[in-house]
Amino acid sequence: MKKLILLLALAGMAFAWTNDALPEVLDAQYDYSACNVQFAKDFVEMREACAETHGETVFDSSDYISDLDDSLADVKDAADDGDGLQFNGAMWTLRAEMLSLGAAVVGDALTNKSADFRGCVLGGTDELDDALESCRSDAFQKGKTAATDYVNNELEYANGQIDDLDGLGADTSGMQTVVDQGEALVDDIGPAFDSEDPAEVSKVYQRHSRLVLLFRLEKMVAVMDYAEPIIEAGSNRNKDELLDDMADLRGDTVDLLDECEYSETVGSDYGLKNLGCWSEGLALMGRFNSLQALYLGGV
Amino acid sequence: MKKILIALLLISVLLLAGCAKRGEAQIQQNQTNQSGGSQEDQSLGDLFNIDTDKPAEAGGYSVPAAGEE
For position B13, what pLDDT does the model report? Answer: 54
- Asked if A288 lies within 8 A of B48 by C-beta distance, the reply is yes
B60 chain-A contacts, CB cut-off 8 A: 26, 28-30, 32-33, 75, 91
Chain B residues with CB under 8 Å of A150 CB are 56
Residue B3 has pLDDT above 50, yes or no: yes
C-alpha span between A220 and A45 (Å, rounded): 55
Inter-chain touch B49–A12, beta carbons under 8 Å = yes
Contacts of A105 in chain B (CB under 8 A): 66-67
Residue B17 has pLDDT above 80, yes or no: no
* Nearest residue of chain B to residue A84 (CA atoms): B56
CA of B58, closest CA in chain A: separation in Å? 6
Residue A160, number of CB atoms within 10 A of its CB: 11
- Rounded Cα distance between A1 and A147, Å, is 44
pLDDT digits (tens, 9 = 90+) for A33-79: 999 999 999 999 999 999 999 999 999 999 999 999 999 999 999 99
Model confidence at B24: pLDDT above 60: no
pLDDT, residue A223, reads 98
Around Cβ A221, how many Cβ atoms within 10 Å?
Answer: 20
Does A99 have pLDDT greater than 80? yes
pLDDT above 50 for A112: yes
pLDDT for res A86: 95
Size of interface A-B (CB pairs under 8 A): 156
The pLDDT assigned to B38 comes to: 65
Whether A23 has a pLDDT exceeding 70, the answer reads yes
* Per-residue model confidence as pLDDT tens digits over A82-98: 999 999 999 999 999 99
The Cα A298–Cα A244 span in angstroms is 14
Please indicate whether, in this complex, the C-beta atoms of A22 and B38 are within 8 angstroms of each other.
Answer: no
Reported as type and span, the H/E element at residue A16 is none
Residues A120, A53 contacting (CB under 8 angstroms)? yes
Query: What is the tens place of the pLDDT at every residue in A228-285?
Result: 999 999 999 999 999 999 999 999 999 999 999 999 999 999 999 999 999 999 999 9
Query: What is the spatial distance between Cα B29 and Cα B46, in angstroms, rounded to a whole number?
Result: 26
Closest Cα in chain B, distance from residue A261 (Å): 18
The mean pLDDT of chain A is: 93
More confident residue, A17 or A260: A260
pLDDT at B4: 62
CA distance to A91, A161, A169, per residue, from A164 (Å): 37, 5, 9
Write down the pTM of the prediction. Answer: 0.81
Say which amino acid occupies A120: C
Largest CA distance in chain B: 117
The pLDDT-based confidence of A25 (bands split at 50, 70, 90) is very high
Mean pLDDT of A110-128: 92
* pLDDT of amino acid B42: 81
B45/A contact by beta carbon, under 8 A: yes
Q: Which residues of B touch A230 (CB under 8 A)?
A: 44
